Amino acid sequence: MVKKFYVTTAIDYVNAEPHIGHAFEKVIADALARWHKLKGERVFFLTGVDENAQKNVLAAEDAGIAVKEFIDKNAALFLELCSKLNISYDKFIRTSEKEHTKVVYEVLKKVINKGDIYKGNYEGYYCSGCETFITKKNLIDGKCPEHNKKPEFLKQEAYFFKLSKYRKKLIKFIENYIIPESRKKEILSRLKEDLKDVCISRKGADWGIDFPKDKNFKVWVWIDALINYISGAKEKWPADVHVVGKGINWFHSVIWPAILMSADYKLPNKLLVHGYLNSKGKKISKSLGNVIDPLELLKKYNVDAVRYALLRCSVFDDSDFSEDLLIERYNNELANKLGNLVSRVSALAEKYGTEKIENKLLKKLNVKAIDKKIENYEFDKALNQIFSFIDICNEYVQKNKIWETKDKKALYELKESILKIAELLWPFIPESSEKITKQFSVKKIKKANPLFKKI
């Protein structure tokens, strides 16, 4: 049987337009999905938007627009981002879909039947940005560490999930679940403390999914949102990899597996927790006025320039990202190295032709090592290895002085090597990869227009 590979991104709040962090996460998941397609696996890739959050309602009120109209408008921007970034998703889920609500009820019914939901009273600090309660000791200077805002103190009747019941099981499960190690240690450290039951309802809200058999409450958005990974995929569950940002690690590594344990679902295989993109060492945020709009970026630069610059960032650590960095990576690597190789070899092959020979040049490319880097989610290191081979190919042209020797056998080696480079780069820069493949797959190669015009 063909191996299946199911990958997800987190679903994005539609309270605002997409930012560069959304683009980063989507290209990470897309590169993974495409790599597994190259390996002949049956891939399913899910992304989408979270439409049931109260922060969406507040943003709509601020904009003076009806909630549904506001959500539809912003959801369309996320769809546009996926399209313009060449994201190869199989399903784009919107959590306002009736089918999703149906699955939320199916899951919660199983949790209720297990005796894991009860009614009680809650009081504590609530961050509207995170849409969750935060313990006082997790505040920094009295503020939410994620949103740098003071949470409000709430006291209300609520439904609770018996999260504490699953503490030991979670500790055991997490050992092989979270990547990288640093993010795993963070969660295990928190689990060593007392694990409290979690409030999973919101009283008085007029947007979202009604709590089962009690319309005075709505299902807490984080329970509803996490279930999208089942409602969006159904028979393809469990997920092989969830790709999420470090700010929502706890929800995906503790609350989500516990809900699945309670409802007797299979557990996901891996949780890939990526870092944030920074601007000059500072987190990119609206309050700091350093937001990078990916849709604006895609108007100025071609899609592969944006994808490549993002995938050159470290997945695990916070990385600096800027337009200047994009231009530098594009000019130095895509234009000077890959573009130059494609241009020179296609011109020489058009002039002198190629003659089949054993390809000793290609033996200098270690595909297994590249595969290992991608399996370890080290995309930047995988790209380093591919570009090291591009350097070898450029040196081969120089060393053999093909413009003088007219060596058809050397040109054959270069042609085949370029085709392999294009294949390996397809998960990263698919549009350019497909152009190279088309150019070098014909019997009579012709020099094409420059692949990457210098910025």
Enzyme catalytic residues:
19, 22, 127, 130, 144, 147, 283, 286
The half-sphere exposure of 187 on its side-chain side, counting CA atoms within 13 A, is: 29
**Assign residue 447 a region: left if phi > 0, alpha if psi is -120 to 50, beta otherwise?**
beta
Task: Compute the distance between CA of residue 168 and CA of residue 157 in angstroms, rounded to an integer.
Answer: 28
What span, in angstroms and rounded, lies between the C-alpha atoms of 102 and 312?
40
The whole-angstrom separation of Cα 423 and Cα 427 is: 8
Distance (Å, whole) CA 327 – CA 295: 16
User: DSSP characters for 222-245?
Assistant: HHHHHTHHHHTTGGGPSPSEEEEE
**Alpha helix (H) ranges present in 238-302?**
249-250, 256-263, 294-300
φ, ψ of residue 319 to 5 degrees: the values are -130, 145
How far, in Å, CA of 36 to CA of 41, rounded?
6
Q: Which tokens sit at 449? A: 């227009």
Q: Which of 380, 241, 373, 386 is nearest to 321 (CA)?
A: 380
CB crowding 3-21: b at 16 or more within 10 Å, else e: eebbbbbbbbbbbebbbbb
CA distances to 246, 337, 351, 441 from 446, in Å: 47, 19, 9, 11
How far is it between the farthest Cα atoms of the chain? 84
Compute CA distances 161 → 44, 57, 92, whole Å.
Answer: 30, 25, 29
- Cα dihedral angle (76, 107, 90, 77), rounded to 10 degrees? 10
Local structure of residue 86 (DSSP, 8 states): T
